[in-house]
Amino acid sequence: MQDEENDSDEDGSSNSEAVAEDRPSHLYSLFQNDMLSIDSRPAVRERNERTSKAAAASLDAARTVLQRLMPLKEDIHAVSAHVSSWHRALHEVFPLTTLPQSQQDLLSSYEVVTRPEADTMVLAAWLLGVATISQQVPQDAYGPDNVARSFQKRMNFARLVSEAVERHILSHDSLIGTVEGIEVALLYLRA
């Protein structure tokens, strides 16, 4: 009988140890993290500062690349005549702030996006809008000798803008995770 008591004591002690070991440690991680810990707030602040500095550096690099793709004002003037009614209708469905809705919008915004300190996201969205418009230019807008060359030039421009936006903006989570980044992504899908 004493052996039975020892066996039950051993079973009882091992059961209480098993219960202690079975505590869900993953639940502790929900509450023991950098955001809730008082001691780690300077570390979180430093990490946020590093992230914002990296995002600013990415924006500067993207601006430099995108400004090299800026077409001449004469080219924008030629393309601006082809801002179509579907472009305005699309703005009604997706009210994007940087999407030019008319020829005047496109021409007046040219001065803003050509400034050296232009907002990178506005510049990217504007170039994507121009790339989309340039693909809508009808074939008969140019003389018969220039149709193929004009078409190839416009398609090459759209491809270069799309690749630059994808490489320098869409590939950075910190840039795409903003309202402006989502707008650029929507325009990228259309270009």
d(CA 95, CA 87): 11
Is 83 a member of any domain?
A: yes
- State which H helix or E strand residue 31 sits in: helix 25-31
Is 62 a member of any domain?
A: yes
Is 12 a member of any domain?
A: no
Is 103 a member of any domain?
A: yes
Domain count of the chain?
A: 1
pLDDT value for 16? 47
Is 75 a member of any domain?
A: yes
Q: What tens digit of pLDDT does each residue of 77-117 get?
A: 888 777 765 566 667 776 766 666 777 888 888 989 999 99
DSSP letters spanning 54-105: HHHHHHHHHHHHHHHTPPPHHHHHHHHTT--HHHHHHHHHS--TTS--SHHH
> The domain containing residue 146 runs over which residues?
57-190
Kindly report the number of other CB atoms within 10 A of residue 57's CB atom: 10
Is 35 a member of any domain?
A: no
Is-above-0.75 flag for pTM?
A: no
62, 169 in Cβ contact below 8 A? Answer: yes
Is 163 a member of any domain?
A: yes
Is 8 a member of any domain?
A: no
